[in-house]
Copies of this chain bind each other. A is one copy, B any other.
Amino acid sequence: MKSREKEDKLPARIPLSRERVLTCAVSIADRDGIGALTMRSLAAALEVKPMSLYYYVANKGEILDAIVDMVYAEIDVPSADGDWDDEMRRRAASVRDALGRHPWAIGLLESRTAPGPATLRHHDATLGVLRGAGFSVKAAAHAYALLDSYTYGFAMQEAALPFNGPDTAASITDPIVQLFATGQYPHLMEIATEHVLQPGYDFGDEFAIGLELILESLSRWIGRD
């Protein structure tokens, strides 16, 4: 009967765990941005006091490293079977999706330099596909640098856009168009009116276009070097 008291009030609280701390951290960052991810907000979301978190993580930096690796874990690992270019297409799309779901991760990629296991596994598998397709060691390195630069850079630009998806541009860009209308930026004006503000426009569509160009050119590197 002694343990009765707590069973009455506490709804059988799920115990904390490193996993729970980290997944909750990801949700907060997804919903409100990394800026909103503080030890205090995290603790509150887990219905716990701030200092309890330090039993599972050494400090906030460790949380950041860990959630970046969790994002990598969401990315499709390319397969050594299947065409190399299809695998790269699938991988690139998967990276873009993951970074779209977790845009805060883009900013962390360049500040955190402790790659986790999912990160390493991903890079290793990707290089494996390129090598298997006949790229030399050097060519594979060059190809990977190119593909990754494009993919990250595109995701970064997408994250910086104040709009998302088809047609959402117009509502936001009205004030910007006002600025362009001064005539100081004729080419931005032209692009805005004749392309970006057209119905159905979606910046995300440009991703596939650039990727195809890169993949096509890369195919000529196979067997060389």
A residues sitting closer than 8 Å to B (CB atoms) are 103, 106-107, 109-111, 113, 120-121, 123-125, 127-128, 131, 137-138, 140-142, 145-146, 148-154, 156-157, 159-162, 179, 184-188, 190-191, 194-196, 203, 206, 209-210, 213-214, 216-218
Majority SS at the chain A contact face: helix
CB proximity of A160 to chain B, nearest CB, Å: 5
Copies of this chain, count = 2
Instruction: Name the residue on B nearest A179 (C-beta).
Output: B120
Question: In the bound complex, how far is the Cα of B9 from the Cα of A70, in angstroms?
Answer: 58
Partner of A191, one of B140, B161, B162, B206: B140
Q: Are the C-beta atoms of B142 and A148 separated by less than 8 Å?
A: no
Contacts A124-B186, A124-B187, A190-B137 given; indicate if A157 touches B150 (C-beta within 8 A). Answer: no
Chain A to chain B contacts (Cβ below 8 Å), 7 pairs: A124-B185, A125-B187, A131-B187, A140-B191, A142-B210, A149-B210, A152-B153
Q: Chain B residues near A137 (CB, 8 Å)?
A: 190-191, 194-195
Q: Are the C-beta atoms of A188 and B113 separated by less than 8 Å?
A: no
Q: Are the C-beta atoms of B187 and A145 separated by less than 8 Å?
A: no
Instruction: Name the residue on B nearest A189 (C-beta).
Output: B124
Q: Are the C-beta atoms of B110 and A160 separated by less than 8 Å?
A: yes
